[in-house]
Structure formats: C-alpha cells, structure tokens
Chain A
C-alpha cells in the first residue's frame, strides 16, 4: 500500500465514517484543520483511547461529532470548562479543545482567560474564520475592523482580539498561528504541541467562503486561500502590532512562544496534596 493510502486508512479509523457526509461547505477550512490534527495525532503514535476531543458549538464545533474517540459536543462557549473537568478528574487523558473563534473568545472568553492563567494542561485548536459561521455570518470577536458581515452591512466598528498576544499575556507556554494554507506547518505544530504540557494555543486562520468570504470579495475558497498565501509572513518574534489582524492586511504566522517547565495546574494541585499528606 502506498503511504498516502495508508495514511487515509489510519485517518478513517479516527473518524466516525457513519456520520459522513459532514455538514461543512465545499472548500471550508475546518476540514483541512481537522485533517491536520488527525495526521499529527497519528504521527505522534499516541493512544487514541486516551484522547478526548471537546468542542463548543459552531461549524467548527461539529468536529467533536466526527472524531472516533471520546468526544463532547458541549454547549456554546463551554468547551474549555468541560475540558477542565475531564482533565481534572482524569489527568492521564490527553484533552484537546477544538472550537471556533466565536465560541472560544466571545461567549466563552472568560473561560479561555482563566484556564490559560491557571495553565491547565489542554491543547486548544482555535479555528478563526473571522465570523460566526454556523449562525450565518454575523460579526464576532475576531472579525477585523471594517469587514462586512450580516450584522455589519457597512463595515465592522469593533476591534478584534489579537489571539496570540492574548494567550502570551496570560502565560500560555505554547502559542502559534497558522492558516489553512500552511497545512504542513500546522500539522507539525500540532504534532509538537501534542508532546508538550500546559495550556497550548494554536490559532488557525481558516476560510469560510460561504458566509464570510462572499461578503468580503472572496467568494470562492480558492480566493481566500490565495489571500492567505499572498499575505502571510512568518515571524516568530512578532510584536503586538504585527500580530494584529487588519482587514485585508498581513497575517503574521509562526510559533510565538514555546517554553517548557511552567508547572501545570494539575501538577501544582498534585504537589499541594502530596505536601499536605506528609
């Protein structure tokens, strides 16, 4: 069997194929991201029986329903607190949160902030498509200023989150950003992050041609991919300003923070119990 075919078979084992076809639109970036995650996981040779995938609600959130491992499709915004609960009860499990920008940073923003501060041992894959895809393309917490959405027909007045900067400011030990154009880098990054500890954040800039792209002069998935290709630059030591995402502006990608040795919440907790028992 050729290696591609073998990879496909391995991946299929990790998918609930009975739930296919999936709901995602043709050309959507969420599938690329899920694919990168599955490939990275297969490459890591980690035990699928110890993997839990948690999602909130949204197009991205549907991922939890398609992976053939223990998974939770939780309420909107609550992926992180569900994951915290799982990790706390079963520290031996490998817990990954796979969710969208609106879910993780608007309705669930407080959970992100506090879980990062405590350094829970979770891998967060945040698919940022600049909009609330599932509900039909309203502006959200990562919509660039000036962008057109169903709720900002003449341009968005809000300022978006600078996700890598937010994560770094909270002390997250691993922080990266890629686009769906950077499939290999994304896959490598997930692979490395899977082997690390603490609150690891990977932002994936992803195309939603259906409800975002078409209102912003990028009707097809290809146009969005071209935009990612043309405008991304790698810069691991980027400044706050450089990490900001401007409407039609540059997309700085890279691994912005990668340090180890900060004890996780779970480790600190165990340590206190150990000391108290002495």
Chain B
C-alpha cells in the first residue's frame, strides 16, 4: 500500500509490521512521533503489543532487555541524550546477545542545546556492540527495521541493531512510502524464535559475575565473531528482501557513478541524496565525481571500501560529527581499512554539525577540492572543517 509518511511514521510502521510484543519508551525530540504513532496503533487495536512509557531512556532499554529475555520481540526509539543515557544498558543488550531493534533519530549533543541533526550521538555508541544502519529516505527507514529483525535474530548473529535516521530531514518530512502487506512481512520474518529465554521449567541465571579466568574474554570474542558473521547475513537478507519486496538496496555501500570517478565522496545518511544530485550536475560539466553512501557503519564494510578505493584516485569522507582522534569516525575507519590496500589520498571534511545546512553549493566546492587533490596526488590538510562562521572559503 502506498502511503504518505514521515520518517518517524515510517519507523512506526516498520515496527508495527515486525510485530514486537513490548515497546518501552521515553519521549525526546525528534523521536516523539514514533512512539506516539505506536501508542495510537496499540490503543486502536491495530497492533498487538504492550506499551509502557517508562521514566527515562535508561529504564526503556532496561525494560526492553528484560522483556526480550522472556522470549518476545521488543522495540524502542530514542535520540541524542536519550541514547547517551542508555549507554550502560546498550552494552548489556549486546553482551546478553538480545536482538533488540531500536530506531535512533540522529540529533546533536548538548551543550549548547540543539535538536537538529548530527551524528555524534550514534558515533559515540559505535563500540557498544550494536549493528548500525544509516538510512537515506523514509522507505529505507521502514524497510531497514524489518530487515534488521531478521538479521539480528539469526542464531549465529544475536546482535541488537540501531536503525538510524536524520533528525527532521527524515523524521518530520513526508514522502511517498510503499508499506508492505502484513502477510508478506510475516512470511519474510517468521515467528520470533529466541535462542534462549527465561523459562521457569529450566531456571537460568542471567548476568552472573565471573572471574578473569572465566569465559568473559570468550564472550567478547564470540561477539566479535558474530559481528563478522553479520556481514554475510546482511548480504543474504538484503538480497532476499530486494527480491521479495521489489527493492534494490546495496547491502553495505550504495555507490553512485563511481565506476570511472576521479574522486569519490563517502557519506552517511541523507547527505547521500544531496551529493548524488551534485554529482549529476558536475558530470554534465565533465567533472568525474561519484558518491558512496555507507549504510552499515557496524559492521564496517571493509571489503567494499577497499574495492571502492580501487576504482578512484581520491576519497573525500564527509562526517557530520567529530571525534577527537585522527579526524572523525567515518574518515578514521575508512582510512584504516585502506591502509596497505590502496595508496590514494583520503581527506576528511567535517560539516553540518548541529544541523547546519549541507547545501549543494557547499558539496560542489568540496568535490572541486577533492578533484584538485586527485590531480595533484597530495592532501593539503587531512582534516578540514567546512562551513564555519566567517570562513569565506566554503560559503
């Protein structure tokens, strides 16, 4: 069925179609309309689930963890400070190998307070053991939730997943979305089949203390293996979904006009669609540029990134957040997987923080900068902040 939905309504529909049995949530801008829509679905009897508005995000995740442990699917959604407040129990969800699916609406962290889009909130959770998928339009928001349950619940994976959408640009903007039939989603997902669950007939203790000789390290190792396995399962599930629902997602990196590109811009989220538009315009002027939109940041698409680097002379990585290491996260990881595999210049462009607009004009300037680097073969500065107030270069 074709419907006009905002990104948040698409998330609510994705959750509804996946039939979670417990939703625990706490409101935060710009996530609220997800949980309001779900509250209405449940109250109207359109969704068979229990819903609790707990007293904080920390409690929301704790409740999802415990509910999932009883052997049912759960769902929640949050943003920025809500996600940060969950941090402790995010680690618990992944360590306990619970395939919870959560929507995260990317928003800036305070101070100063800002409700606009920025990827620092999710980047700060990159080591929490959650699979992370970044989306570019409302259709992808909806579809990714359904696919995520399927991937996360595989018994060789059992890793929770964040389905990430940009604040306002997606969360509050309406688009035409194809909402799949419930029956088809049921066929695709199947009943939830937990690998283990709370069972009074077979009592088990969850979360016991172990000594350094105990299997702590082995548990972590198994998580690392599962994240590796997820690469294979993601590919399979995305292909299956494409086939069944007539979509064409690339599992890890969506490439656009990269085949003969002199320079490729690597991005996350909605920056991808703006960049593709700019690429078309620049191609008309004979400038050979392309875009690679990374969908999965966890697990990081190593092989795909290395293959991409073989096609081009230069990679410019756009980050909508900053990490105080060797540049921002997408850049640092891109560069590290290319080490020893491709000897091309890589430059980091940090922009759009706190929701500052990333316009086609700015991206065109960045592409031109990238083309110069591709031609000369040297990076002037490894990390450049683009669009700071008063900086004439990019305005």
Contact = CB atoms under 8 A, between A and B. Distances in A.
Q: Main SS of chain A's interface residues?
A: loop
A197 interface: no
Contact of B32 (A109, A135, A141): A135
Given A75-B81, A107-B26, A154-B43, A136 B55 contact: no
Contacts of A138: 27, 32, 35-36, 53
A136 B56 contact: no
Mostly helix, strand, loop or mixed at chain B's interface?
Answer: mixed
Interface string B24-61: 00111100110110011001100000010101100000
A152 interface: yes
Given A75-B81, A76-B81, A154-B43, A107 B55 contact: yes
A134 interface: yes
Given A153-B39, A153-B43, A154-B43, A139 B53 contact: yes
A76 B29 CA distance: 12
Interface string A93-133: 00000000000001101000000000000000000000010
B40 A106 contact: no
Contact of A136 (B26, B32, B113): B32
A85 B35 CA distance: 34
B209 interface: no
B204 interface: no
Contacts of A75: 81, 110
A39 interface: no
A135 B28 contact: yes
A106 B27 contact: no
B151 to A, nearest CB: 29
Given A75-B81, A106-B55, A135 B27 contact: yes
B132 to A, nearest CB: 24
A151 interface: yes
A13 B144 CA distance: 53
A151 B39 contact: yes
A109 B51 CA distance: 21
A150 interface: yes
B39 A150 contact: yes
B339 to A, nearest CB: 38
Interface residues of B, number: 20
Q: Give the interface residue-count category, chain A.
A: 20 to 34
A153 B43 CA distance: 7
Most buried by A among B32, B40, B51, B85: B32
A136 B53 CA distance: 14
A135 B39 contact: no
B65 to A, nearest CB: 18
Contacts of B33: 136
A81 B32 CA distance: 26
Nearest to A141: B55
A141 B245 CA distance: 42
Contacts of B36: 136, 138, 150-151
Contacts of B43: 152-154
B53 A151 contact: yes
A165 interface: no
Nearest to B57: A107
Nearest to B42: A153
A223 B299 CA distance: 55
Contacts of A154: 43
Contacts of B110: 75
B59 to A, nearest CB: 9
Nearest to A151: B39
A73 interface: yes
A121 to B, nearest CB: 26
Given A136-B32, A151-B36, A73 B113 contact: yes
A79 interface: no
Contacts of A141: 55
A107 B56 contact: yes
Interface in B189-220: none
Contacts of B27: 132, 135-136, 138, 151
B162 to A, nearest CB: 20
Contact of A106 (B28, B56, B85, B113): B56
A158 B54 CA distance: 10
Contacts of B26: 106-107
B362 to A, nearest CB: 30
B23 to A, nearest CB: 11
Interface in B55-79: 55-56
A138 B82 CA distance: 16
A164 interface: no
A179 B318 CA distance: 52
Given A135-B27, A138-B27, A153 B40 contact: yes
Contacts of A77: 56
Interface string A175-200: 00000000000000000000000000
Contacts of A139: 53
A57, A135, A152, A154 — which one has the most chain B CB atoms within 10 A of its CB?
A135
A106 B51 CA distance: 17
Interface of B: 26-29, 32-33, 35-36, 39-40, 43-44, 51, 53, 55-56, 81, 85, 110, 113
22 contacts: A57-B113, A73-B113, A76-B28, A107-B26, A107-B55, A109-B55, A132-B27, A134-B29, A135-B27, A135-B28, A135-B32, A136-B29, A136-B32, A138-B27, A138-B53, A141-B55, A150-B39, A151-B36, A151-B53, A153-B39, A153-B43, A154-B43
Per CB-CB distance, the 10 closest pairs between chain A and chain B, nearest first, are A106-B55, A107-B56, A135-B27, A151-B39, A138-B27, A150-B36, A153-B43, A135-B32, A154-B43, A151-B53
Given A135-B28, A138-B27, 17 more contacts: A73-B113, A76-B28, A76-B81, A77-B56, A107-B55, A109-B55, A136-B29, A138-B32, A138-B35, A138-B53, A139-B53, A141-B55, A150-B32, A151-B53, A152-B43, A153-B43, A154-B43
